[in-house]
Amino acid sequence: MNAPAFIAVIPARYQSTRLPGKPLLDIGGLPMVLHVVARARASQARAVYVATDDPRIRDVCEAAGVSVVMTDPQHASGTDRIAEVARHLQLAPDTIVVNVQGDEPLLPPSVIDQVAHNLAARPATGLCTLYADIWEEAEFLNPNAVKLVTDLQGRVLYFSRAPIPWPRDGHQSGTAWGKRHIGLYAYRVQVLQSFVGWPVAGLEEREKLEQLRAMSHGVQIHAERCCTDIPAGVDTAEDLERVRQQWPGRDRA
């Protein structure tokens, strides 16, 4: 399969409520953000950028030869930060940009390629993402695990923190409970710039899910099952310790 021309952007914010300074925390002798950069560079992306508002992150990345774009500290989300990068780089409207979360040091490069290929193959689609099957009832019922439903072609019908679709007649043993959204996105720049210009939508405000802003404005979103397992990212001190414990047995980034 020919690789589509796409870039990867890693939003990296120093301030984190649960884990301050998260991008610079050490894992296996390197700051976490540099592990994420290594994952993105191992993909087919033609360029990788870190988008940050903090000079400490900028300095660490530039010292390692990583391209950095400084962004407005007032941005409400990583999506806004990525949109500023696209403007700064003067990317063409049809350029594909993959949003790689800065707290995913174990992210398989293959899934970055997957979302980019998926979007490149679907000219009518504005945004592509991934999901994993849910096999545990507790995860299906957990509002922190975002669920999605699709049509038969993989076009997303809705995202929710609620357990959807609800098995009215009981869960059928041996089948997945549902589809858990994986927060990896590929956008076309023209859709990305439209998205950040729209006000917060009612569904977005209710569910606290920004992808519902795109759906509220008629943007078609496509989701595929992730091509490989994606290890959990780092949100808490416990997550960080778990990843650190995994690292000695892995190749260094």
Provide CB contacts within 8 A for 46, sequence distance 6+: 5, 6, 7
Separation of alpha carbons 147 and 180, rounded Å: 5
Model confidence pLDDT, tens digit, residues 158-174? 999 999 999 999 999 99
Backbone dihedral angles phi then psi of residue 83, each to the nearest 5 degrees: -60, -40
Residue 229 to residues 22, 132, 187: CA-CA distances in angstroms? 23, 8, 22
Model confidence pLDDT, tens digit, residues 195-248? 999 999 999 999 999 999 999 999 999 999 999 988 888 878 888 888 888 875
Q: pLDDT band at 89, cuts 50/70/90?
A: very high
Separation of alpha carbons 143 and 148, rounded Å: 12
Query: Any idea where the domains of the chain sit in the sequence?
Result: 6-249
Neighbouring CB atoms inside 10 A of 172's CB total 9
Q: With contact defined as beta carbons under 8 Å apart, do 217 and 198 qualify? A: yes
Separation of alpha carbons 156 and 182, rounded Å: 13
pLDDT in the model for residue 10: 96
pLDDT in the model for residue 250: 53
Question: What's the chain's Rg over C-alpha atoms?
Answer: 18
pLDDT in the model for residue 253: 39
Separation of alpha carbons 166 and 139, rounded Å: 13
Task: Please give the single-letter amino acid code of residue 181.
Answer: H
Does the pLDDT at position 2 exceed 70? no
Model confidence pLDDT, tens digit, residues 19-78? 888 899 999 889 999 999 999 999 999 999 999 999 999 999 999 999 999 998 888 888
Q: Which CATH superfamily includes the segment(s) 6-249? A: Spore Coat Polysaccharide Biosynthesis Protein SpsA; Chain A (3.90.550.10)
Q: List strand residue ranges (DSSP E) for 120-228, in order.
A: 127-134, 147-150, 156-160, 178-188, 221-225
Separation of alpha carbons 210 and 226, rounded Å: 21
pLDDT in the model for residue 252: 44
Please give the structure tokens belonging to residue 240: 């960080």
